[in-house]
Amino acid sequence: MPANKSLPDPAVLLVERDVLVRMPLAAYLRDCGYTVIETGGGEEALTALQQDQYRVDVVLTDAELPGALDGFSLAQWVRKNRPEVSMLIAATPERAAAVAGKLCEEGPMLAKPYAHELVADRIRQLIASRRRSDS
């Protein structure tokens, strides 16, 4: 992929504080054909999302992030300001149980540690679903 070279690669904004988790996942997603913008926290992610020239199709974020902006706050910002962008929030099972209510509001959930194939599959599904709803 992608099959049509005239289309830009779908873009994923990856928000993950641990470089040893972020780096291999970003490399895997690039191998799958995605453009990946790597960020380590909510503030960096916001900086990238506020750039009109950056295409972002999916934000994949850890629920727990350093700084004042966690994954859910980031998701709320995206929903309000970049509604065309799909959100994918990841958390450990313990964290997921604690925030189940919020997840109902903020969209798909992904368990950590990441299974790279599953992440790519969920991203592909989100992008396909968004394209169907836009057409």
Contacts to other proteins by CB under 8 A: 5, 8-9, 11, 19-20, 23, 26-27, 30, 35, 37-40, 44, 47-48, 51, 53-55
Q: Are 10 and 32 in contact (CB under 8 A)?
A: no
Residue 47's closest CA among 15, 23, 72? 15
CA–CA dist 30, 9 (Å, integer) = 10
Among residues 20 and 97, whose Cβ is nearest to other proteins? 20
CB of 98 to other proteins, least distance (A): 27
Among residues 55 and 95, whose Cβ is nearest to other proteins? 55
CB of 53 to other proteins, least distance (A): 6
CA–CA dist 130, 115 (Å, integer) = 23
